[in-house]
């Protein structure tokens, strides 16, 4: 589907209660433009469950479930299996979860579902912290970032969830950014059609969490891709592809626009830069060594 063919109507409806400039809301709207009506969605505790899924103000115009923090993947596994028993095999069973729910609390159930190649689509909107509960660092927060639990800057490198799932030889694993909208559409559309375990992780700027002006999100996620901070990759048929070659410029500018990096030290910035380059080379090697 080309961008101009993208339906205006989304099955995540207008009028959610997200913060101004929330990209999580933008991601949900665009995902549900592509997936359409034949979708069942589950959302664990997160900003998204609050801004789009608290009764009676539910924006999901499709069957919607809210479950516990750690069991997005197992909940949607149960739904997918039940639908299969009923012979309803044309319905996309979607989990939309934040990075905390995905990378930390829900990692075991996510791993189990990938291992069994469950017929589910799991989309993580990654705003790089537990934003809903007041900006605590998650397992995928960047090096050097301020959060309420990392007042002197996060010292840990983010877990690479796509690479963990690739190690499961999952059916489909991708990362995306709505700044590269055609790439985003292609990936969601492909994941909609495929059967088996599908995972897409989308970078999601957060106005209060990233300490930015509300108009800055789209510009920042674009700069994240260009600087190499956020790699666009796709793993399918056991082959890895990098969709955009980063220019590796502008990291400092990207960081300096965000209040969450105000106090980053030179050493932390250097560690962040090294970690970004290391990650790129790991993926580049995976791409070069495709052998199946």
* Binding span for Mg ion by CB under 5 A among 125-133, 167-175, 225-233, 283-291: 125-133
Structure tokens at 108: 């075991």
Closer by beta carbon to ligand TPP, 141 or else 186 = 141
CB of 250 to ligand TPP, least distance (A): 25
Site for Mg ion contains 49 (CB under 5 A): no
Q: Determine the interface stretch with ligand TPP among 7-15, 84-92, 93-101, 277-285 (rule: CB under 6 A).
A: 93-101
Helix spans in 36-141 (H): 47-52, 72-85, 99-100, 107-115
Report the DSSP pairing between strands 92-98 and 121-126: parallel
201 sits near Mg ion (criterion: CB under 5 A): no
Residues 6+ apart with CB under 8 A from 3: 181, 182, 185
User: Given the complex with ligand TPP, which of 147 and 171 has the nearer CB atom?
Assistant: 147
Cβ closest to Mg ion, residue 10 vs residue 102: 102
The interface partner of residue 132, options being ligand TPP, Mg ion, none and the CB cut-off 5 to 8 Å by kind, is: ligand TPP
Instruction: List the one residue from 16, 26, 28, 45 that touches ligand TPP (CB under 6 A).
Output: 45
Query: Residue 47, interface with ligand TPP (CB under 6 A)?
Result: yes
| Residue 122 is a binding residue for ligand TPP (CB under 6 A) | no
247 with 229: CB under 8 angstroms?
A: no
Residue 68, token pair as written in the block: 């516990």
Applying CB under 5 A, which of residues 127, 171, 177, 268 lies at the interface with Mg ion? 127
Q: Which residue, chain included where needed, has tokens 């433009």? A: 33
Length of the chain: 292
Interface with ligand TPP, residue 227, by CB under 6 A: no
CA 171 and chain centroid, separation: 17
Binder among 93, 101, 114, 200 for ligand TPP (CB under 6 A): 101
Q: Which of 42, 138, 154, 175 binds ligand TPP (CB under 6 A)?
A: 138
Asked if 129 contacts 137 with a C-beta cutoff of 8 angstroms, the reply is: yes
Check: CB of residue 198 under 8 Å from CB of residue 171: yes
**Tokens encoding 127:** 């705003």
DSSP class of residue 141?
P
Token pair recorded at residue 210: 């990233």
239 DSSP 8-state letter: E
Q: How far is the CB of 99 from ligand TPP (least distance, A)?
A: 4
Q: What are the residues binding Mg ion (CB under 5 A)? A: 98-99, 127, 131
Binding interface with ligand TPP (CB under 6 A) = 24, 45-48, 69, 98-101, 127, 129-133, 138
């Amino acid at each position: 589907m080309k961008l101009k063919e993208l339906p205006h109507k989304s099955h995540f409806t207008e009028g959610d209660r997200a913060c101004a400039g929330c990209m999580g809301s933008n991601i949900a709207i665009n995902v549900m433009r592509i997936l359409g009506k034949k979708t069942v969605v589950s959302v664990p505790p997160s900003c998204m469950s609050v801004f789009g899924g608290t009764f009676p103000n539910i924006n999901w115009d499709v069957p919607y479930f809210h479950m516990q923090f750690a069991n997005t993947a197992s909940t949607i596994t149960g739904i997918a299996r039940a639908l299969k028993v009923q012979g309803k095999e044309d319905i996309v069973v979607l989990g939309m979860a934040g990075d905390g729910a995905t990378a930390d609390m829900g990692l075991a159930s996510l791993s189990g579902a990938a291992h069994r190649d469950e017929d589910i689509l799991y989309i993580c909107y990654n705003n790089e912290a537990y934003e809903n509960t007041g900006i605590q660092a998650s397992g995928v927060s960047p090096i050097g970032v301020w959060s309420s639990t990392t007042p002197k800057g996060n010292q840990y490198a983010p877990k690479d969830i796509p690479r963990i799932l690739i190690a499961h030889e999952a059916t489909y694993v991708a990362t995306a950014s709505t700044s590269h909208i055609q790439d985003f559409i292609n990936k969601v559309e492909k994941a909609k059609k495929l059967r088996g375990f599908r995972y897409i992780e989308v970078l999601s700027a957060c106005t209060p969490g990233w300490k930015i002006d509300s108009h800055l999100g789209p510009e920042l996620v674009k700069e994240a891709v260009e600087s190499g901070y956020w790699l666009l990759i796709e793993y399918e048929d056991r082959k890895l592809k990098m969709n955009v070659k980063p220019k590796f410029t502008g990291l400092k500018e990207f960081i300096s626009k965000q209040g969450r990096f105000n106090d980053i030290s030179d050493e932390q910035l250097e560690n962040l830069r090294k970690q970004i380059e290391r990650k790129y080379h790991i993926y580049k090697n995976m791409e070069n060594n495709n052998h199946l």
